[in-house]
Structure 1
Amino acid sequence: MQGKPRGFDKAMQLIERGVDIPNPWSLDIGDDVDLDRISSDGVTIHPGCRLHGAATVISAGVHLGEEGPATVRDCRLGPGVRLKAGYFDHAVFLEGSSMGLGAHVREGTLLEEQASGAHTVGLKQTILFPFVTLGSLINFCDVLMAGGTSRKDHSEVGSAYIHFNFTPDGNKTTASTFGDVARGVMLDQPAIFLGGQGGTVGPVQVGFGTVVGAGSILRDDVREDGLLVLTPAPDGVSRPNTPRRYKRLAPLLEKNLGYLAGLVALEAWYRTVRTPFFAQQEFGPLMLEGALEVLAGARAERTKRLAALIATIEPDTDGRRQLVDRHADLLASCAPDQVPGHLRQAPAALVGPLTAAAQAGTGYIAAVQALESPAKEAGTAWLQAMIDDTCRRAAALVPDMGLFEAD
């Protein structure tokens, strides 16, 4: 007679604690999974699921595998998360976020509250702010996206959309920002719409309220808010290909440094503003820990990719020579511990009412959206000052590159 499957005893322990597991014989639960990090409150684990990793957290109300088998490895799942089927590895999903059948979600991914993806979505090094919705058949790696005010008014990526994040030269200094951190965290900005059967060639920066028509390939920034963008197919081009020319090196560096600065600001937001809200959740401190790990990992990824590109640059101008010689200091300057002390302190007008709301049991989204305008403006100004300071300090290390001069 065949013996019990691996994890059967753990599945039975979970059932005894109140977890809904219709078929414990079908589960694969690794020896490294800590059952004390799995809630007994309203959790359902459907047949065919696999749980692995000591870091795994499953909060109250989570549903796994309702559309097919789900593999969860070292992921942290907040309250009410629904991972319907697919592969999920070293990612963090905050309250009410979800992914559909065939998802492939890998490290560096953070879905904030009520962010979601439909079926067959691939994510890696992706940060989605609350409400952001992805359609089906999407590859959306190396992206930060914000915008929208609710599940009925949300930034959306249409089906069959691709973020092109890998160049013919083999580099991935291609992270794109749709919206921004400083305004996006206030959850009051116009939604962004990327029409289906289209794509973005990273890196780009796109303003809030942008609508990109279906079938368009976005190749340039859309810095101004509220624009409709329809891009025709480019005229035919046939010319000699010169690898690693980097004709637009300064804008490329600016976008990568700006992305890093945004991550620094977002980490500060988590440490100062979000912490009391996580404290109200059953596994809140573990969820906060996981989110901070994702943000640190995102900075490490962007730094690694930028260093790899700089290593291929021919130092044939003063600016490029400075960049090659000082790149280690340049990249080190984009770390949270380099932010001046006076910029690390969040304004009391922001922190005070949010902390009080958290302690009163108000949820994060409701509390942020209830802030009065002066508090939101103070918070945005604080985060933007941190971003601007990080970019200025980086630019000062390579003055001959002329970075951020237009700003």
Structure 2
Amino acid sequence: MELRPRGLDRIEALIAKGATIPNPWTVDLDDDVDIDRISGDGVVIHPGCRIRGSRTVISAGCRLGAETPMTIDNCQLGPGVELAGGFAQGAVFLAGASMASGAHVRPGTILEEQASGAHTVGLKQTILFPFVTLGSLINFCDLLMAGGTSRHDHSEVGSSYIHFNFTPDGDKTTASLFGDVAHGVLLDRPPIFLGGQGGTVGPVSAGFGTVVGAGSVLRDDVVEDGQLVLPPAPREVHRPVTPASYRRLPRILARNVTYVANLSALESWYRQIRRLFLTREEFGPQILAGALVNLEDIRAERIKRLRALVGRLRPTDEGRAQLIDRLDDLTEALEVVDGPAPAEVVRTMGAAAGEGVGYLDAVHALRTDLRGEVTQWLSGIVTTQQQNVADVLPVLLTKGDDAPFADSVAG
């Protein structure tokens, strides 16, 4: 009896389509993978790779496992994606995105065009806008990062950087916003630089053009754009631990609401603008669907974490009592907010897509007046979501210096 690897017949079918698989007997292809969603045009699958999941998509020009074996599970890969080795599950990689070996990419992650990571990078529920570049040995989960205009002018995170997203209370209402959606989608803002051997204690909001010095730990917001930040080392503190004190609760809540509001803005951008381009690409509809699923999952996670935080609170003042009592109303206020894109923006971008202009080129070519309309549209979605929550929690979010939403949006 001849022993044949699982999926060998379908692997041979991929080779017949034009895919390069140098050692097909070492590639593990799950039974639920639809090979009609794997291109044969320029795809290279190196020895030892594992491909899993009924929703997996591999577009033309993708390369898997060039450095070490690569596992992908229900991921959607746009054209020219290179994943050199590691593990990725439930993630979306748009055209030209890349990760070096040792990648550990978990669900809810979206790497937009030409975003990249060097070796040994961990991501989860991470959204990187085009061109964002991560160094090596990085843990960068639960955040959105924008900024930069090209592969030569991009936001960058230095090696050995950590986004601290878990508190001693086991709380993860810690998502951070580097840049924002309303300005970041236009690809014309200064890049953000987070120096190596450093970290950020979420949740924070940082403006475009922020430069955080190497070896620093960012603990507070950087409201203004274009700021050099060299945080001092924290002074030594010895005091009793007070579990679940949440001394800066209004700020924590405001930052989380603003993050969810930016997800609403990004979802509107995907549904109304990116769709014009993705639906014209091979497997583009499946990639768009994967991105929308991830945005939905990220929102659900953020709401789950907020509800868990509220579950730890005690009604020690009027604002906290109101938050506990109106938790379900808060959840409802965090549902997706949408709004129609400006008609001329849709027409212009639709015409570009119809003429075969790439997404990045089309964004760069937008007229100045239309850029203003895009920012106004998406900022309006953010402020509407913020106001919906403020209406539910007026005591907690409209009093005090630590609560204003105005300081929660970069740009």
Rounded to whole Å, the distance in 2 between the matches of 1:190 and 1:248 is 30
Per-residue CA deviations over 1:137-160 (Å, capped at 9, x if unaligned) read 000000100000000000000000
Q: Specify the alignment match of 1:354 in structure 2.
A: 349
Q: Specify the alignment match of 1:305 in structure 2.
A: 305
Rounded to whole Å, the distance in 1 between the matches of 2:405 and 2:366 is 33
Q: What is the deviation of 1:249? A: 0.1
The answer to whether the 8 Å contact 2:95/2:114 transfers is yes
Q: Specify the alignment match of 1:45 in structure 2.
A: 45
The answer to whether the 8 Å contact 1:349/1:378 transfers is no
Rounded to whole Å, the distance in 2 between the matches of 1:349 and 1:14 is 43
Distance 1:107 1:314, change over 3 A: same
Q: Specify the alignment match of 2:56 in structure 1.
A: 56
Matches within 5 A, 1:7-406: 7-336=7-336, 339=337, 344-403=339-398, 405=404
Distance 1:181 1:398, change over 3 A: same
Q: Specify the alignment match of 2:409 in structure 1.
A: none
Structure 2 unmatched ranges of 5 or more: 407-411
Rounded to whole Å, the distance in 2 between the matches of 1:276 and 1:60 is 19
Rounded to whole Å, the distance in 2 between the matches of 1:320 and 1:281 is 49
Rounded to whole Å, the distance in 2 between the matches of 1:74 and 1:163 is 25
Per-residue CA deviations over 1:40-74 (Å, capped at 9, x if unaligned) read 11100000000000010000000000011000000
Q: What is the deviation of 1:202? A: 0.4
Rounded to whole Å, the distance in 1 between the matches of 2:191 and 2:404 is 29
Give the CA RMSD over aligned residues. Answer: 1.0
Give, as a single letter, the amino acid of the residue that structure 2 aligns with 1:224. Answer: E
Q: What is the deviation of 1:232? A: 2.1
Per-residue CA deviations over 1:310-354 (Å, capped at 9, x if unaligned) read 110011111111101111111221222xx3xxx611111211111
The answer to whether the 8 Å contact 2:254/2:405 transfers is no
Q: What is the deviation of 1:254? A: 0.1
Partner of 2:136, secondary structure, is coil
Rounded to whole Å, the distance in 1 between the matches of 2:308 and 2:2 is 51
Q: What is the deviation of 1:294? A: 0.6
Give, as a single letter, the amino acid of the residue that structure 2 aligns with 1:77. Answer: L
Q: What is the deviation of 1:38? A: 0.3
The answer to whether the 8 Å contact 1:191/1:210 transfers is yes
Partner of 1:144, secondary structure, is strand
Rounded to whole Å, the distance in 1 between the matches of 2:14 and 2:79 is 17
Partner of 2:88, secondary structure, is strand
Partner of 2:200, secondary structure, is strand
Rounded to whole Å, the distance in 1 between the matches of 2:391 and 2:303 is 18
Are 2:6 and 1:6 equivalent residues in the alignment?
Answer: yes
Q: Which has the higher contact order (CA 8 A, sep 6+)?
A: 2
Partner of 1:189, secondary structure, is coil
Rounded to whole Å, the distance in 2 between the matches of 1:298 and 1:380 is 23
Q: Normalising by structure 1, report the TM-score.
A: 0.97
Per-residue CA deviations over 1:289-317 (Å, capped at 9, x if unaligned) read 00000100110010101110111001111
Partner of 1:104, secondary structure, is strand
Give, as a single letter, the amino acid of the residue that structure 2 aligns with 1:351. Answer: V
The answer to whether the 8 Å contact 2:53/2:73 transfers is yes
Q: Which moved more, 1:307-316 or 1:327-336?
A: 327-336
The answer to whether the 8 Å contact 2:254/2:404 transfers is no
Rounded to whole Å, the distance in 2 between the matches of 1:133 and 1:239 is 39
What percent of counterpart residues are identical? Answer: 60
Give, as a single letter, the amino acid of the residue that structure 1 aligns with 2:120. Answer: T
Q: What is the deviation of 1:128? A: 0.3
The answer to whether the 8 Å contact 2:258/2:405 transfers is no
Q: Normalising by structure 2, report the TM-score.
A: 0.96
Q: Which moved more, 1:344-353 or 1:82-91?
A: 344-353
